[in-house]
Amino acid sequence: MENRMYPYGPGAGGYPPNQYPNVNVNQKMVYPDPNMAPAMKSPPAPNGDYCPSLPDYEYKNPKKEQVSPVEEKANGFLGVTNVLSICPCPPDEDVWAALVNPNGSRTKLSVQSICISNFSCYPLVAHIYFRPTLPVNAKMSSNITPADLSMSNARPKGQIHSGLLPNHPVNGVKAAIKIVPSNETISIDVDERWVVGAGTNIMVFLTSHCDDSNLKSTVSFEWQEQ
């Protein structure tokens, strides 16, 4: 006969024990109380002592790339002499201009180009000397600027000197001779193949074979410092 009042058997709201005994139940065994949750234990997880660290989600400002002060300074320069007057009449003086690398500069000057302008009606002869002895009456040009204007102003090691010279330069080696036509400018492009070490110079010695004392010229240099 079906027990509709206690359909689920003894315990958990079922009929009282021994009222309707279950023939399949072993009376000698101790069954867990169905009204109480069993004390279940989770199996130990591997590496139970390991506690992973959470990622740091805090916003960080991007690190600004640091640029060396040496890299911020321009290493390319160019400059020009003041107007040089040629006077072949007595005392028969000629003019010169030189790119000078002073002693102790710890820098090499790599010449890129030399431009010679002739503002007269007669041609000039430009003698290029390596390592001559500089005259004592030299004037230093202030017309020197970095080639890259976007960089901070850098003080060049190279200097541009000019002056008068009654004779040809003393010592040194004559490396080249160029003719500068009247009212023209010539450019000597050497693409950094001429290197001026510390304590040396490259000189442009200008001469003329006419009697006009109003011959005028300028010499400009462009170089890299390393």
Domain span at 219: 90-225
Would you state the pLDDT for residue 136?
Answer: 86
Say if 203 falls within a structural domain.
yes
Whether residue 110 lies inside any domain: the answer is yes
pLDDT digits (tens, 9 = 90+) for 88-123: 555 667 899 999 999 999 999 999 999 999 998 889
Residue 172 burial (CB count, 10 A): 19
Q: What is the tens place of the pLDDT at every residue in 50-96?
A: 666 666 666 566 666 665 554 445 589 999 999 998 765 556 678 99
Say if residue 186 is exposed, middle or buried (CB neighbours under 10 Å; 0-12, 13-18, 19+). middle
Phi, psi of 201 (to 5 degrees): -160, 165
Within-domain flag for 185 = yes
Element (H, E) at 70: helix 69-72
13 inside domain? no
Provide the β-strand partners of residue 116.
186, 219
CA 130 to CA 65: how far, in whole Å?
A: 43
Nearest one of 12, 10, 218, 225 to 116, comparing CA atoms: 218
CA 212 centroid distance within chain: 50
pTM: 0.66
Rg (CA), the chain: 48
- Classified as helix, coil or strand, 90 is coil
Q: How confident is the model at residue 214 (pLDDT cuts 50, 70, 90)?
A: confident
Predicted confidence (pLDDT) per residue in 13-41, tens digit:
555 556 655 556 566 666 566 665 555 55
Q: How many domains does the chain have?
A: 1
Percent of the chain's residues with pLDDT above 70: 62
Residue 172 has pLDDT above 70, yes or no: yes
pLDDT, position 17? 57
In a domain, 170, yes or no: yes
Highest mean pLDDT among 3-7, 139-143, 147-151: 139-143
Cα 33 to Cα 10, 106, 120, 201: the distances in Å are: 10, 96, 124, 108
Please report whether residue 142 resides in a domain: yes
**What is the distance between the alpha carbons of residues 46 and 35, in angstroms, rounded to a whole number?**
33
Confidence (pLDDT) at 223:
97
Residue 182 belongs to a domain: yes
CB 20 within 8 A of CB 3: yes
User: Which pLDDT score is estimated for 2?
Assistant: 55
| Dihedral angle of Cα 98, 104, 106, 110, to the nearest 10 degrees | 10
Is 25 within the bounds of a domain? no
